[in-house]
Structure 1
Amino acid sequence: MEPRRVEGVVAMARLTRVQQQARTRASVLAAARQEFIEQGYAGAKIDQIASRAQLTRGAVYSNFPGKRALYLAVLIEMVEGADIVEPPQRPESAGEALGSFARAWLERLPLTGDTAPEGRLRLRSLAEVVDDEQSRTVLAQIARLEALLLALGLESCARNGSASRQVRLAELALTLLGGSALLAEMAPGFGDPFDRARACEHLAGLPLADTWAPPYLPFVKPARTSRDVWSPPEGLTDRLTGDRIDLRADGLVSVLGAHRMEAAEDAVRSARSGERVTVAVVTGDPDETGLLLRLRVADLASCLRRVFPTEIWRRFRLVIGDDAAAVATSIGLTGTDDTTEAAVRIQDGAIVARAHGRGAAHAAAAGTARATSRKAGT
């Protein structure tokens, strides 16, 4: 057989395998969703899911490492498959934005007639899923990242350049909404969602005197200056807007492990005005921690996009999963885990500053400024 014909046969066989795997995965997810609706997370069984999908137990495990990963994948499909609603004009105030955000978020509350398992699935409940120390630690870090993302939207509502930090306000709103979900799960029907949305609006009037002043900043190790050629990965997706990312422009790139997501604010606050910030979140456990991160980010982003115009996120880009691993490799990290914290500064097509450890993004930003000053003075 001619080599070209052999290559065509191999390519066709590979395509067939990929298509078959996609069909198998879709069948497993559909069967799993029905099993979780009827039995709940605790009562669901892998054998029953396999039977519903008319597959073997091994076929299920070849696509998902366990029940938790399968449950998270079902929720991700629900969230990412929802229609994207374009927001109106930029909110006039933080209070208006919080009210709109709360109304979008509260749509997940169970409907009258939903069974308890079905209601938990609508709520994206993690009550029985996050049951180990690793997951709790990651969930706490995700909550810090969620508060920052909501805060950036709220800060964009400021007029006349008078924006102040709104992270504490965002934390309060997310706490109120999270409590609403817990009550809906434990005591369905309690409370009025419209009252909760109004309460979120009024939170914006609290005098929180919010400032960003981490005590560790004065002790951050300075960045190392460099002049390495910058070869950014292509085809990356911003998880906030769904747009493709071009990393060739000047700016700050921060790689954070799943236990260090709170450091995303270091990158946001340390970057120069108008410069782009890219945060890539990596994890040593993509099958479960990675899915948990993807779910929560997609869920939050779906609400944010209904309140804030997408242009407010142009300065901040968030990448996760394989995209984040590609970013880590591109800045020279040979190994990453959940405690990774590293950052580089990009300028004129080169990496001009590198930093690792606590406060890496702040160091990379400050280090470039010093290097630029020295160059200007020569």
Structure 2
Amino acid sequence: MVRLTRAQQQARTRASVLAAARQEFTEQGYALANVDRIAERAELTRGAVYSNFPSKRALYLAVLVEAAEQAGAALPPATAPPGSEAEALGAFARTWLERLPLAGDTAAGGRLHLRSLVGVVEDEHSRTVLAQVAQVEALLLAIGLESVEPDAPRLVRPAELALTLLAGSGFLAELAPGFGDPFDQALACEHLAGLDLGDTWDPPYLDFVAPAVPCQEAWTPPEGLADLITGEPADLGADGVVTVLGGHRASAAEEAVRSANPGEQVTVVVVPGDPAETGALVRLRIGDLAGCLRRVFPAAAWDGLRLVIDDGTVAAAAGLTDAGHETEAALRVKDGTVVARATGRGAGFAAARHPESWRATS
């Protein structure tokens, strides 16, 4: 008889709970799902369920994260860039719309397939995080679109419109199955690329951001954290900018991305505070979007950008002992050394524009 290690037993228990929860949510939906029934399905105690997942919401989000990861890995990634921004938006929309419920799905099963958060994200903190993450999603889609044409302007606003249209399609599919034609919706997204929205990036407050503070500190970042964009391990030790953002400040990622020197790495580290709920919410939304993006754009579209969820080790390595939802801090790293630090609003911009960065590329 093979004896399992403690870690193997924990992994088996977690997998059993997830499988039982998936069945429960598919049949009952989130609101009517019951943790006691999930425990019965898994042939475990209620305590065993809660020892792996602190709440029903954490369990539901874990089921959605697993579904998103499986969907993202189902088909091979793109190997060639789209021919145009319109073609890219259309292809992205068609990929995203594959999640719409099928005719034979139950209402609860359709919501699970859609990865719906209706009725799940209702408290103010989670709503704020979701709004911030939505802006990060638009940024990632925009970077993909901007990579199609070398001289493309900022395309965050068209990306926001496309994501809004698709989210509305999903909401209607949940409430009124069969309404709307997915082919029409994808075609509408294509046309968004041709809208002249005068999209620029020049936040006026950046003129008042305090410069980063020079320093000379050893940088020993943790290893093994996954990049949510590529799914590969992230190298946090590369020269460039590391910006650490709480869930309420995640949208500040664009400041570091737009301010960094061409070709250098920007690592965006999101501090979830609550890994099982806030962390899972961020992982779900970014991982789900990235799975769609990888099927449309080659990975080179995001060269130099890494996005990770902190398990506490990055903030500790950066000396941020009180990192929380409002955290906004950044480091400039060169040759394994932190050469500048910045905190507060505009930290990513300040670290990216630190004079050391220009010497490094001159």
1:196 paired residue number = 185
Residue in structure 1 matched with residue 128 of structure 2 by the alignment: 137
Q: Which amino acid aligns with 2:137?
A: E
Q: Distance in 2 between matches of 1:280 and 1:63?
A: 25
Q: Identity across aligned pairs (percent)?
A: 66
CA pair 168-26 structure 1, distance change in 2 beyond 3 A: same
Map of 1:73-88 to 2, 5 A cutoff?
Answer: 73-82=62-71, 83-88=74-79
RMSD of aligned alpha carbons: 1.7
Structure 1 SS opposite 2:214: strand
Q: 1:228 to 1:368 in 2, by over 3 A?
A: farther
8 A Cα contact 1:84 1:302, kept in partner: no
Partner Cα separation in structure 2 for residue 153 and residue 219 of structure 1: 30
Match of 1:319?
308
Instruction: Say yes or no: does 1:249 pair with 2:238.
Output: yes
3-state secondary structure, aligned to 1:127: coil
- Does the CA-based 8 Å contact 1:95-1:201 persist in structure 2? yes
**What letter matches 1:133 in structure 2?**
E
1:68-102 deviation per Cα after TM superposition (whole angstroms, max 9, x unaligned) = 00000111111112324221410121111100000
Q: Paired residue for 1:351?
A: 338
Q: Is the 8 A contact 1:166 1:210 kept in 2?
A: yes
- Taking a change above 3 Å as real, the CA distance of residues 182 and 371 of structure 1, as seen in their structure-2 partners, is closer
**TM-score normalised per structure 1:** 0.91
Cα distance in 1, alignment partners of residues 81 and 173 from structure 2: 30
Counterpart residue number, 1:31: 20
Query: Of 112, 117, 126, which residue of structure 2 is paired with 1:126?
Result: 117
Q: Which moved more, 1:329-338 or 1:261-270?
A: 329-338
**2:229 paired with 1:240:** yes
Structure 2 residue 83 is the aligned partner of structure 1 residue 96: no
Correspondent of 1:184 among 163, 173, 177: 173
How far apart in 2 are the matches of 1:288 and 1:72?
Answer: 7
2:326 is equivalent to residue 339 of structure 1: yes
**Greater Cα offset, 280-289 or 173-182:** 280-289
* Matched residue SS, 1:48: helix
Cα distance in 2 for residues equivalent to 1:346 and 1:318: 16
Post-superposition offset of 1:230: 2.1
Question: Is 1:364 equivalent to 2:351 in the alignment?
Answer: yes
1:83-136 CA-to-partner distances (Å, cap 9, x unmatched) read 242214101211111000000000000001111001000110110101111111
Q: Which residue of structure 1 aligns with residue 104 of structure 2?
A: 113
> Which residue of structure 2 aligns with residue 329 of structure 1?
316
SS of aligned partner of 2:320: coil
Q: What number of residue pairs does the alignment pair up?
A: 358
Read off the aligned partner of 1:43 and give its amino acid letter: L
Whether contact under 8 Å (2:261, 2:357) holds in the other structure is no
Change (3 A) 1:74 1:371: closer
Aligned-residue offset at 1:248? 2.9
Q: 1:131 to 1:40 in 2, by over 3 A?
A: same
Q: Distance in 2 between matches of 1:344 and 1:101?
A: 33
- Give the conservation status (yes or no) of the 8 Å contact 2:332–2:351: yes
| Structure 1 residue corresponding to 2:286, chosen from 284, 292, 297 | 297
Quote how far apart the aligned CAs of 1:20 are. 1.2
Deviations 1:133-152 (A, max 9, x none): 11111110110110001010
CA gap of 1:371–1:186, structure 2 versus 1, over 3 A, is: closer
The corresponding residue for 2:253 is 264
Q: Equivalent residue for 2:145?
A: 154
